[in-house]
Amino acid sequence: MKKTTKRLCDRRIFNQPVSFEISATEKTVQDVRQTGTGVDISSHGLGMRTKYALNKGSVLKFYLPMREVQTTIPVFAQVMWSMPADDHYRVGLRFLA
């Protein structure tokens, strides 16, 4: 039986720290800034590990590190899935245009 995949394009290993913001919602009064570790990346999204529980559908502003120029680029992404894994959460993010 042939294995199928939902991914639209190939992902590459992306083992780098990232920080992200969750915009203020009705549950919080201010933006929440957290950190995580990128796991893999593609042109469509990013896999991430974080200690922060994220809700499917949430929009994050995260800061993508660019090693070549030693800076970060702000990028918006939507949480497509989030699941607990040991002492952290594994999260799938889709880049927003």
Q: What is the rounded CA–CA span in Å between residue 83 and residue 90?
A: 5
**C-beta separation of 94 from 76 below 8 A:** no
Q: What is the rounded CA–CA span in Å between residue 78 and residue 59?
A: 4
Q: Is the pLDDT of residue 31 over 60?
A: yes
Q: Which 3 state secondary structure label does DSSP give 24?
A: coil
Could you tell me the residue ranges of all domains in the chain?
12-95
> Ramachandran region of residue 57, left (φ > 0), alpha (ψ -120 to 50) or beta?
left
pLDDT at position 5: 55
- Domain spanning 12-95, CATH class: mainly beta
What is the rounded average pLDDT for all residues in the chain? 85
Q: Is the pLDDT of residue 6 over 70?
A: no
